[in-house]
Chains A and B, each alone.
Chain A
């Protein structure tokens, strides 16, 4: 059965995308209510990328994530309660309040961590792929990062080594066109970032990052290739973020008509247009996800802050 006809897969896609959407909306609400310390980088508008990509993985695979990482974590099945609690700086969060939005890890889900340094996680994900080879497993790693990270040295160094040694990893560029306020088209001559794959001697492909099926099919092919020991691939998902760089950034450096055009064909609309799920099926998913999200918010809000002494644990392990 082709993916397009697979109702179960469609339900999974819509559930994860809608869950991510609702999660991020509630993070934004917490920020506006002054309940979220610091800032967070929202994944709103990019939901199809993480959803489609993570759906191709096995439970024992790995992902590397970024500062804009909530979507990857949700798609990989991280616990919503612990995620939201971490974002609010609570004791019950994934990192007991030590990491916050930018550093959520869930080792039990193979999530090697969101990362506060742009491009910082690319070598780490590559190391997980090397480790799989050393350990003789067929685990695959997905490395997510943005268009701006593709201009960091870590991008070049990591992909070069992964290509040279046929490592089981898929590099996924989430090209949302902006690095904070700087339009990638102002700082990079070749705007099709996937074309860089040629220089590394690996397959490169661009897909509509707002179409969960397009992402899924491309990443699936790359993951299968990696799992067979045929090496890494580079996939560029062309997408757009709705908000500014973070919750405190109005993003006024972008043309309103550009944002409107992308919003008109955002991931949930693109999905619904395919007509795979009925309105009733969609409503059922939304009702169920809304409950989960409400529970996560309640859990996070009611959880206690960590004790001061918690600051001094976990610097070293025994």
Chain B
């Protein structure tokens, strides 16, 4: 295993898949000459050329739709949206076109396409550059949805996404790009992490904590602290929301009897509520307490750190919630 920053692990995945398969190409704003707003594509334009690592104008509907057309005609596009917030700008191409064309055609075609984009608050980027809106993608049938956590996870899941024959929306966390993790497979190892199989990060017996993306990192930190207080929490990193591995959650809750679900999206009508209602029939008689949820408060993300930070769950808030529950 190697230690890498998330952004470098992502770049490795893109590099390896472009080298392995010449139908893979990338389009997006600022991904070429400067290697991406978050430096996830540095050096790839030099290596693969302008056509395969294409800097686009600020035309999200246009280049996402072009990805769909290229995917229909034999290519495997990887499209970068600079911020997940921009999916609202090109919602038609993502959700009416990309997601539905296979179905509307009666299976005559498929759309092997990845759309990468960063979510997450905590950067004083205010209400239009901080949202965690991956739940939007989950609501539309026909899209697979990935919410990776560590560097190794990002790499392995992105490689799977690029090889998948369906549209995949890949939500990276912008606050993790420069965080280092020591779980990246050695060079030359071709590791793809399968979709729909959650990762048990830490095993425990008192409570089950389900998280994804950056919330996995916060929860892990909280749980490590709580171990010293004698609290044993089991942490599950979902990896993908579509498909969703309910089996691993159900198995864990049957063991612990308690469940805390954490997702950085707004709390209402989102991931946490969906998971709770989906697994409840299977664990109803095993529960020793009500299912609890944590997410971002239902207000637009404000600019000032003094306002923004209190709205988003972090390791301290998670630790406090777990203490309260056990």
Q: Which residues in A have some Cβ–Cβ distance to B below 8 Å?
A: 62, 64, 93-99, 103, 105-107, 112-113, 115-117, 120, 122-135, 153-154, 157-158, 160-161, 164, 313-318
Contacts and interface: CB of A to CB of B under 8 A. Distances in A.
Contacts of A96: 106-107
B96 A124 contact: no
A157 B27 CA distance: 14
A203 B103 CA distance: 37
B67 A95 contact: no
A269 B97 CA distance: 38
Contact of A157 (B51, B52, B57): B57
Contacts of B61: 123, 153-154, 157
B25 interface: yes
A243 B105 CA distance: 27
B101 interface: yes
B305 interface: no
Contact of B65 (A99, A103, A127, A317): A127
B203 interface: no
Contacts of B277: none
Which one of B56, B59, B96 has the greatest number of beta carbons of chain A within 10 Å? B59
Contacts of A158: 59, 62, 65-66
B216 interface: no
B62 A154 contact: yes
Interface size class of B (residues with CB under 8 A): 35 or more
* In the A-B complex, the 6 residue pairs with the closest CB atoms: A123-B65, A127-B69, A157-B62, A127-B66, A95-B106, A157-B59
13 contacts: A96-B107, A106-B108, A120-B92, A123-B64, A123-B93, A125-B69, A126-B66, A127-B65, A157-B57, A157-B63, A158-B62, A158-B66, A315-B142
Most buried by A among B62, B63, B75: B62
Interface string B287-312: 00000000000000000000000000
Contacts of A64: 69
B104 A95 contact: yes
A131 B105 contact: no
B166 A316 contact: yes
Nearest to A62: B73
Interface in B17-56: 23, 25, 51-52, 56
B139 to A, nearest CB: 14
A107 B65 contact: no
A161 B57 CA distance: 8
B300 to A, nearest CB: 24
Contact of A112 (B63, B72, B142): B72
Contacts of A134: 23, 25, 51-52, 70, 75
B65 A131 contact: no
Given A117-B96, A317-B102, A131 B51 contact: no
Contacts of B110: 317
Interface string B124-142: 0000000000000000011
Nearest to A154: B61
A105 B104 contact: yes
A200 to B, nearest CB: 12
B72 A124 contact: yes
A225 to B, nearest CB: 20
Given A120-B93, A126-B62, A127-B68, A103 B105 contact: yes
Contact of B106 (A128, A164, A314): A314
Nearest to A139: B73
A98 B70 contact: no
A230 to B, nearest CB: 17
A128 B70 contact: yes
Contacts of B142: 315-316
Nearest to B112: A317
B86 to A, nearest CB: 13
A131 B75 contact: yes
A132 B73 CA distance: 8
Contacts of A124: 65-66, 68-69, 72, 93, 97
